[in-house]
Every structure is written in structure tokens, then in C-alpha cells.
A and B are shown apart, each in its own frame.
Chain A
């Protein structure tokens, strides 16, 4: 084994040790590990209800934000602002649904979803413009915009959109016409899951079979060659990908409001935009793969929620598992965003 191979193995072992040690600590401080695992598995797939109403409902925003991140990564854009774009999409979708109270469903529902989609794209557009015009690193700008978005939601649910009694920091429920239909009365699974899967298939087809998709792949794989050899306007391609990425994340927020919460409140996203990075990387930024990794992380998070409820184990533990997975992946596969291009000088 070369030294790099050895250090990779060492790292994977070290990550396993971190996760294992955390679990050991949990059991040492009095948590019932057996009960926690039972709750985790049962909450994720113990029954058709758990799988449909827990895992798949939780997977829907993860698939959509995972798709958002995957599209951006494919184009060499490091959009870690999916969380902020999600929040903007959720806010604008809720506002649209509330404003169009009384209008028929065939108009309100698409209007709310499209408004959320546009809001996500616009929010990403700020970072895209900063990148294209001023060369501001999008890693920094998108994260800063996440914090601004969180403040914005906090203001909206305490100010202009607060429910009429002015007691709770959340909006009124959106009208039934703006709600995504569910698959029967016995499940919480809603049409949004189908929209998410459909978006992934569409994105996969576009990236795989269209000229625009080809430009996206080339610009992401080697921007220098793309501009010199293929005469591709790389800035234009990456900006478009950034906007589409924001649109997907915004739609994710709109779907969450119209399909699950029916209202806007502060912690509507438990960090979907960050989990999305793991979802996208695990799927190797392939839009079809995102469906499966999204469901896998949906199961993990639905299980973790049950684990916190039934065994008192903090669900933030999932972040440790996700981070360890990302690190193990970069150690094994050497995924690259920067450094993939040959020196131009």
C-alpha cells in the first residue's frame, strides 16, 4: 500500500471510531442503545405507515435540495446556500397561498409552487451575480445569505405574516386549495414526493441528453477546456446552473409548506440544505442517484426523530453520521471541486 492508501484506510477507521465513540458515550451516560436502535429502525421502515409518512415525507425536501446541490456541483458551483433558498421558497409560497385565499386549487397551488421556485432562484441569483460580476467566492456568499434568510423568516412570522391572534411566531394555515393532495386519508405522503422524483428524472434527462446539459458537464469538469476548445461561455453556464439550483431548492421549500407544514415558522428547515450536500455527494452528483440517497437520508432522519422521541437520543447525532459519511467519501473517492483544472498559466 502507498502512503496515501494507508492514510485513507486510517481515516475511514478514525471516522468509524468517532461515530462508535459517540454511541459508546451515549450508552455510558445511561441511554438504552438497544431501544434507540429499535426506535431508529422502526421509525424509518417499521411499517408501511412509517416508510410512507415518515421516511418518504422526510425524503422529499432532501431529494429536492439534494438535486439543487447536485446540479450546482456538476457545474463547479459550490452552492451551500440551499437552506436559505429553501427558506425563501417556503416564505414566498406561504405568502402566495395566503394572499390567494378563495381562489380555486388549479390556480393557487401552481401559483404557490412557482412563486416559491422563483424566490429560490432569485435568492441564488444574488450569489450568482456576486460570483459572476465581482468574483465573490460563492461558498462564503451563500452561507451568509442563509443567515440573512433565517432572519427574514424570523421577521416575517413575527411581523407581516403572523397568524391573526399574534401569539405564535408562525403564519396562518394556507387554504386547502393551496395544499398538495395526499395519497389517501391514511398517509401523510403527498404529491410533492412525485414532483421531487419527477424533477430528478427531468434534470437527469436534461444533463444527459441536451446540448445545455452537455455544456454544463463540460464547464464543470474543465472550465478552461470548455472555454478554449469548445467555445463555451462558462460564466453563463455556471450562472444558469446556479439559478436552476436555487429554483430547485426554492421549490423544495414551497413543497414543504404546501405538502407538510401548511404554515411558515422559523425552524421549518432542520438544515436540509446542509444534509443536501451529503445527499448529492453520495449520489456522485447524479440526479437519478439523488432519489435513492435522498430516501436513504430520509430514512435516517425519520428514524432519528423516532429515536429522540422514544429513547431520548439527541437527533443532532445525525449530523455527525452525515459529516462522517462525507469525509469518508472524500477520503476514498477524492471528489474535487477545486484543483480539477490544469494550470492555465
Chain B
């Protein structure tokens, strides 16, 4: 049992990383009163950006390019949500579709229909001296790619920023009562725009993580619904950074569960494990919904 526990924990943290990054970004967006369903498209944009960056400029180039692409997709959403005041849900869905089509087309154009011969530089684990050799938790917590450490360090930073700074207060006020925030001198649209672009940067980074630190390649529709799971994680985490971190880890564990169950010898069709994270998300949403309160003005296009 303890032989399979270490790989299980390692897989939990690994799968949780992109979800945590994307959900933390979306958390900031939603606390400003905007919901970006196009997060899936942001992830795809980031993943494709990482592929381009990695083939030309190595791992760090991949991350920079992923962030730039994520911000670009988010900027398109911001134009629609804030300046045109279009319906955020329709816009977000369309932007996910747009990103799927654009990245799919460009991938086939640039790398051929197969893309099989593709080998890009990847980001290996960074061992923390002394700690990485700890039993059971060593590899899970202290031998991960650098981006994982960044993702988890962002949690207290975002918490501090959101609850202990003026800018964080302005963000929360914008989401709860834009009219009051405006009267208090907060530039509501500017705050929301910054939040959406920040969400784009983290979403792009999450997409980049999928390519550079996990899959090692790109495929059409690579994000496979992780953007939507991240949005669900924000709800499960009750719109709070620490809650979001816990929810992301729970979903990492749900996805990693297949390693543990297979090790115990539970014989189930593999499709069951593929469906498990989505099923658990649904069950968890039913469990917390109604007992949590979203930002008061979430997704109301009129007050931008």
C-alpha cells in the first residue's frame, strides 16, 4: 500500500498544478464580478503558445509564450465583456470554440496532420535538497517541476493581496457592488480588465504547464475540459484562495485515484477513471451549491 501511496501523492500534486493555476486566476476574475467561461480557450491558447515557444526558445521561452497567448485570449474576452458588454457566457463559450479551432488549424498547418515526430524540451523536476528524499511525501512535495512550487506559493500571495491590500479591497468591492465602488473612486472597468488579464496570464501558464511539464506535446483539444473543471473548483473553493487550493488538490487526488485503485487491484474499465474527475466535480457541486454565495454581481453585464 505504501508503495503505491507515494506515486499517488505525486500524481495528485502534478494534476492539481494546472487546475490550481487556472482556478486561482479565475477566482480573481470572478471576485471582480466577471465570469470567464472562455477559460478553456485561454488554457488551449496557453498550451499552443507553449508549444511554439518550446520549439524556438526552450522551456522558459515556452512559459513566456504561454502567458502571452493566455493574456491575448483573455484580452479578446475583456473587449467583449467590458466594452461591448456582451453576454459573458455566450462570449466565453464562443471564445473556447474559437481557440479550439484556431489552435487545431494552426497545429495541423505548422506541424502536419500527424505531429508524431514532435519532440520539445520539457521541464523536469526540481529536487529540493534533503526534503526530496523524505519517505512517501518526498517526491510529491519536493521533487516537482518549478511551476508547481510557483502555483502553490501564489495561494498565500493572492490571499494576502486580496484581503490585506487596497487593490484587493477594490477588487472585492467591484464584484460585490460596482456602483458603490465607483462612487468610492474605484475605476470599475479598469479593475475588471486587469483581473481578466491576470486570469489570462495564469490560465495561459496552466496551459503551458500541460505541454511543457506534463504531456510533453500538444494535441487538438489538449485541455480536455480542465478550464471548466477550474471554474467548478472556484465554486467548490467558495471564492476563497485557500478553499480553491484545497479543492484543486481534491481534484488532483480524484484524477490520481486510478493509480491507487489499479495498484490495489480494483479491475474497472479505464473509461471509468477518465470520467471520474468530471463525475466527482458534479457531485461536489451539488454538495456545496446553495450553501455558498458567489460575488453579488457575478456575470451581470450591465454594471461594467
Residues of A within 8 A of B (CB): 3-4, 7-8, 11, 18, 22, 25-26, 29, 31, 78, 80, 126, 130, 133-137, 139-141, 143-148, 151-152, 154-155, 158-159, 274, 277, 281, 314, 316-324, 326-327, 330-331, 334-339
Which residue of A is nearest B287, CB measured? Answer: A134
Give the distance in Å from the alpha carbon of A91 to the alpha carbon of B200 in the complex.
38
When the two chains form their complex, are residues B98 and A155 in contact, meaning their CB atoms are under 8 A apart?
no
With the chains together, A103 CA to B282 CA distance in Å?
A: 39
- Residues of chain B within 8 A (CB-CB) of A338 are 87-89, 299-301
Is there an interface contact between A323 and B274, defined as CB atoms closer than 8 Å?
Answer: no
Is B105 an interface residue, CB under 8 A from the partner?
A: yes
Q: Decide if B282 touches A130 in the complex (CB within 8 Å).
A: yes
Asked whether B302 is an interface residue with its Cβ less than 8 Å from the other chain, the reply is yes
With A143-B225, A147-B225, A154-B274: A319-B110 Cβ-Cβ less than 8 Å:
no
Residues 166-210 of B at the A interface (beta carbon under 8 Å): none
Residues of A contacting B282 in the complex (Cβ-Cβ under 8 angstroms) = 126, 130, 136, 141, 144-145, 148
Q: Which of A80, A281, A316, A324 counts the most chain B CB atoms within 10 A?
A: A316
Taking Cβ atoms with an 8 Å cutoff, the residues of B that contact A are 37, 79-80, 83-91, 93-95, 97-98, 100-102, 104-106, 108-110, 113, 220, 224-225, 228-229, 231-232, 235, 269, 271-272, 274-275, 278-279, 281-282, 285-286, 289-290, 299-302
* Overall SS of chain A's interface: helix
Q: Is there an interface contact between B286 and A317, defined as CB atoms closer than 8 Å?
A: no
**7 more CB-based (< 8 A) A-B contacts, given A22-B102, A277-B97, A334-B85:** A4-B85, A144-B232, A144-B279, A147-B224, A147-B225, A277-B90, A319-B97
Query: A320 vs B98: C-alpha distance in the bound complex, in angstroms?
Result: 5
Q: How far is the CA of A152 from the CA of B276 in the complex (A)?
A: 11
- Closest chain B CB from A333 CB (angstroms): 9
Q: Complex formed: what's the CA distance from A316 to B220 in Å?
A: 10
Whether A8 pairs with B286 at a CB distance below 8 angstroms is no
**A148-B275, A277-B93 are contacts. A159–B86 as well, Cβ < 8 Å?**
no
Contact across chains for A323 and B88 when beta carbons are under 8 A apart: no
Is the pair A135, B300 in contact by a Cβ cutoff of 8 Å?
Answer: no
Question: B108 and A314: CB pair below 8 A?
Answer: yes
- Closest A residue to B98 by beta carbon equals A323
Whether A330 contacts B79 in the complex (CB less than 8 A), given A145-B282, A320-B105, comes out as no
Whether A25 and B106, one on each chain, are in contact in the complex, defined by CB atoms closer than 8 angstroms, is: yes
Nearest residue (CB) in B for A336 is: B87
* Interface pair B86/A331, CB less than 8 Å apart: yes
Let me know if B289 and A316 touch, CB within 8 A. Answer: no
What are 26 inter-chain pairs, A to B, with CB distance below 8 A?
A7-B83, A22-B105, A25-B109, A80-B93, A126-B282, A130-B289, A134-B290, A139-B89, A140-B285, A145-B278, A146-B225, A147-B225, A147-B275, A151-B275, A316-B101, A316-B105, A316-B220, A319-B98, A320-B98, A322-B101, A323-B97, A324-B98, A326-B97, A330-B84, A337-B90, A339-B87
The CB with the most chain B CB atoms within 10 A, among A78, A133, A336, A339, is that of A339
- Is B80 in contact with A327, judged by CB distance below 8 angstroms? yes
Contact present for B98 and A327 (CB under 8 Å):
yes
Residue from A4, A25, A318, A326 with most neighbouring chain B CB atoms (10 Å): A326
If the complex has contacts A319-B100, A338-B299, are A281 and B90 also in contact, measured as CB distance less than 8 A?
A: yes
Alpha-carbon separation in the docked complex, A314 to B108 (Å): 7
Q: Which residues of B contact A337 (CB under 8 A)?
A: 87, 89-90
Main secondary structure of the interface of B (DSSP, over half): helix
Contacts A140-B285, A330-B90, A330-B94 given; does A339 touch B302 at CB 8 Å: yes
CB contact under 8 A between A323 and B289, given known A7-B79, A144-B282, A147-B224? no
Are B231 and A140 in contact (CB-based, < 8 A)?
yes
Q: Known contacts A143-B228, A339-B87; decide if A327 and B290 are in contact (CB<8 Å).
A: no
Q: Which A-chain residue is minimally distant from B40 (CB atoms)?
A: A143
Is A326's CB under 8 angstroms from B90's CB?
yes
Closest CB of chain A to B93's CB: distance in Å?
6
Are A330 and B232 also in contact (CB < 8 A) when A22-B105, A147-B225, A316-B108 are? no
A-chain residues with CB within 8 Å of residue B108 when the two chains form the complex: 314, 316
Q: How far is the CA of A277 from the CA of B96 in the complex (A)?
A: 13
**Are A151 and B271 in contact, CB atoms less than 8 angstroms apart?**
yes
Q: Do A148 and B279 touch (CB < 8 A)? A: yes
In the complex, what residues of B have CB within 8 A of residue A126's CB?
A: 282
CB neighbours (8 Å) of A130 from chain B are 282, 285-286, 289
Q: How far is the CA of A146 from the CA of B221 in the complex (A)?
A: 14
Of residues A78, A80, A320, which shows the largest number of chain B Cβ atoms within 10 Å of its Cβ?
A320
Q: Is the CB of A144 within 8 A of B281?
A: yes
Do residues B274 and A151 form an inter-chain contact, with CB atoms below 8 A? yes
Per the bound structure, the CA–CA distance linking A327 and B92 in Å amounts to 9
CA A324 – CA B95 in complex, angstroms?
A: 9
B228 close to A140 (CB less than 8 A): yes
What is the CA–CA distance of A249 and B275 in the complex, to the nearest angstrom? Answer: 21
Contact of A335 among B90, B113, B232 (CB under 8 A): B90
The answer to whether A339 and B299 have CB atoms under 8 Å apart is: yes
Point out the residues of chain B lying under 8 angstroms from A317, CB to CB: 101, 105
Q: Which partner residue on chain A sits nearest B281 by CB separation?
A: A144
Q: Cβ of B285: which chain A residues have Cβ within 8 Å of it?
A: 130, 134, 136, 140-141
Name, among B91, B98, B100, the residue most crowded by chain A CB atoms within 10 Å (CB to CB). Answer: B98
Q: In whole angstroms, what is the CA distance A330 to B301 when docked? A: 12
Task: List B contacts of A319 (CB < 8 A).
Answer: 97-98, 100-101, 104
